Amino acid sequence: MSKIILTGDRPTGKLHVGHYVGSLKRRVELQNSGEFDKIFIMIADAQALTDNADNPEKVRQNIIEVALDYMACGLDPKKSTLFIQSQIPELCELSFYYMNLVTVSRLQRNPTVKSEIQMRNFEASIRVGFFTYPISQAADITAFKATTVPVGEDQMPMIEQTREIVHKFNSVYGETLIEPQILLPDNQACLRLPGIDGKSKMSKSLGNCIYLSEESDDIRKKVMSMFTDPGHLRVEDPGKLEGNTVFTYLDAFCKEEQFERYLPEYKNLDELKAHYQRGGLGDVKVKKFLNNVLQEELEPIRNRRKELQKDIPYVYEVLKKGSEEAREVAAQTLSEVRAAMKIDYFSDEELIRAQSLKYSE
């Protein structure tokens, strides 16, 4: 069986370092591993419209931002198919058929939908499109026969729901669709990178992000303002690591060889942590180290992005080509789905013969 990746993001803003460690970095590694037969990276504009119906311009403006961030991180159009969800009408048709396989109460139990409804104060007036987006996400994944979906932890319920739809479809209509596996980051700190204020999640609406396109000076300012241990008042005081954002970021980003470069008094992160807990290590020193670590990771991304920004028509051309290619694959799956559901009447010679026979006596 081919190994196929499908994943993507809603274009509602520039991508930040939470996206990067949670999924983007891994995608690039998987792309370059050569282990996968096909890699589809989707800009989920149609899904973004399910909770931005009144603000379509935001979605429209951010498609290019996400594409630039993708390519700046190393997603390579020669190796991965980058495309825009709304350009694949086959996904709508698949969703429409999958809707018959999912109950309202099952959708209501989807934890991601539940928490998003709460976050957006949607309780009183949930739009149907938003409520059913897990079904459309199942269409995204299955249309490309994805075996592997590298995403953040918050997407786990979506993949679970997709697997249920696949299972139901295959048991009603015969083996047609592929059950996907989720691929989570293996580093705990990357699963849910907190914002610079230490709040649970990095998110644009909370204003606590470091963006991939951020200028070097702004990165430094943000790192220096990061939430640490509020009880760690004097350098001599013992410091706590739990909930200490600076250390969570170091867990997510720092490599052992960076100690030699920037902080040679310590061999590795464990030694640095031990000193912090013991007391005698100030926040500023740790923050300066983190700043160096982040600058090293983000500088090449920012530079590549600036290069790409010089030729925006090329980036749209990449998305156009990718969308054409993706559409062919989705159309093939849709024709298999139609055949399995036996709604391919005009190519079903047996059906036509049987109906003729019925009326021939």
Give long-range contacts, CB 8 A cutoff, 24+ apart: 293-300. 293/249, 293/250, 293/253, 293/254, 293/255, 293/258, 293/262, 294/17, 294/210, 294/219, 294/223, 294/249, 294/253, 295/216, 295/219, 295/220, 296/258, 297/253, 298/17, 298/212, 298/214, 298/216, 298/219, 299/216
Tell me which long-range contacts 43-46 makes (C-beta under 8 A, separation of at least 24): 43/8, 43/9, 43/11, 43/67, 43/82, 43/83, 43/84, 43/85, 43/319, 44/8, 44/9, 44/10, 44/11, 44/85, 44/140, 45/10, 45/11, 45/84, 45/85, 45/86, 46/85, 46/86, 46/91, 46/136
Residue 9 is a binding residue for ligand TRP (CB under 6 A): yes
> Binding residue for ligand TRP (CB under 6 A) from 4, 6, 263, 337?
6
Q: Minimum Å distance from CB 243 to ligand TRP? A: 25
Cβ(6)–Cβ(149) below 8 Å: yes
Choice between 50 and 208, CB closer to ligand TRP:
50
Is 151 a binder of ligand TRP (CB under 6 A)?
Answer: yes
Does 84 engage in binding with ligand TRP (CB under 6 A)? no
Residue with Cβ nearer ligand TRP (80 or 258): 80
Rule CB under 6 A: say whether 82 interacts with ligand TRP: no
Report how far residue 71's alpha carbon sits from residue 69's, in angstroms, rounded to the nearest whole number: 6
For residue 266, the minimal CB distance to ligand TRP (Å) is: 36
Is the sign of the CA dihedral 59, 65, 66, 67 positive or negative? positive
Q: Which of 25, 31, 47, 315 binds ligand TRP (CB under 6 A)?
A: 47
Q: Strand, coil or helix: what is 291?
A: helix
Q: Does 38 bind ligand TRP (CB under 6 A)?
A: no
Q: Which stretch binds ligand TRP (CB under 6 A): 1-9, 31-39, 88-96, 222-230?
A: 1-9
- Rounded to a whole number of angstroms, the minimum distance from the CB of residue 214 to ligand TRP is 20
Residue closest to ligand TRP when measured from CB atoms = 44
Q: Which of residues 131-150 bind ligand TRP (CB under 6 A)?
A: 137, 140-141, 149
Is 43 an interacting residue with respect to ligand TRP (CB under 6 A)? no
Minimum separation from the CB atom of position 15 to ligand TRP (A): 10
From candidates 17, 39, 41, 44, binder to ligand TRP by CB under 6 A: 44
Alpha-carbon distance of 195 to 206, in angstroms, equals 8
- Least Å distance, CB 326 to ligand TRP, is 12
Site size toward ligand TRP, by CB under 6 A: 13
Is 8 a binding residue for ligand TRP by CB under 6 A? The answer is yes
CB of 151 to ligand TRP, least distance (A): 5
Contact residues: ligand TRP, CB under 6 A: 6-10, 44, 47, 137, 140-141, 149, 151, 155
